[in-house]
Amino acid sequence: MSSFPSPARVSLILRLVLSSSPFTCFDFAMKLNLLLTVLSASLAVAAPISPRPVAHNEKRNTPLNTILTIILNNLPAVNGAIEAVESVITDFQNLISELTGISDTYNELGGACTDYTVIYARGTDDPGNAGVITGPPFFMALEALVGSSKVTVQGVNNYAASVATFLAGGDPVGSASMASEIEAAYAACPNTNLVASGYSQGGQVVHNALALLPAATVKWISSVVIFGDPDDGQAIPNMDASKVDTICHTGDNICEAGDIILPAHLTYGENAAAAAAFVVAHAST
């Protein structure tokens, strides 16, 4: 079978890289560099990528970090209100997923109990139930520290993650869904180290979800990790502040209660290792 990218893949690459949108308008040299980079990555993953969710052991072996670093170094130079740039960011994440095979969907809750359970809320308009550029690097970093067989990952389902719900303070349905998933983990696996995590609007969802939970359930949670938190600085009721890791980059307008997306908001994958180390440091088993 030919290893050359499919027409659909090439179309996606060209649409993103050569876009005339003011939010993705690189100079020609940068565009050409990115095009060559992603085409090379595509040739490196010659087999067609199946749209099905990646199996637990299969996704753990995805060579994520090198490819993701290359892509992050060529992020679109976004600088605009979230409603204006959302499609660019979604396309970019879909491109990464398509080229590398990184899964954007994780539904592992309900299986055998593991030492760690991560309930994760994606950012606005991120694909799947976990996105690509922030959640998966974090999951992989945690697995690298403790072993993939010891980690369960569940993306929040029934969560629209729309611009409208972001502007309203976080999707209420998604917040209730996250609370329900945490309760399910508490009931089924009381000895797991539960990590409540989210990115961007997912941070709002974490705050909202934990506010819906009984105090005893919140106190049971081992750690909270939020990337690019719109509610930065707001305490979580019944949660020990020392167990909360809020990661906000300098210059990230979303962390300043704004609605402007800048490159600083798209690079939290770089903090994956530190976030994973925080989780392990606060584990009870």
Measured CA to CA, the distance from residue 182 to residue 163 in angstroms comes to: 24
Cβ count near 3 (within 10 Å): 11
For the chain, list the domains and their CATH numbers.
Answer: 7-100 (no CATH), 116-281 (3.40.50.1820)
Task: Name the percent of the chain lying above pLDDT 70.
Answer: 74
Which residues of the chain form beta strands (DSSP E)? Answer: 80-81, 116-121, 151-155, 193-199, 223-227, 244-247, 260-261
Q: Note the pLDDT of residue 70.
A: 57
Judged on CB neighbours under 10 Å (0-12, 13-18, 19+), 70 is: middle
Cα 241 to its chain centre, rounded Å, is: 23
- Beta strands 80-81 and 116-121, pairing class: unpaired
Measured CA to CA, the distance from residue 62 to residue 85 in angstroms comes to: 29
Measured CA to CA, the distance from residue 4 to residue 20 in angstroms comes to: 26
The residues annotated with a catalytic role in the active site are 200, 252, 265
Average pLDDT along the chain: 82
Indicate yes or no: pTM above 0.85: no
Q: 3-class SS at 78?
A: coil
Model confidence at 77: pLDDT above 80: no
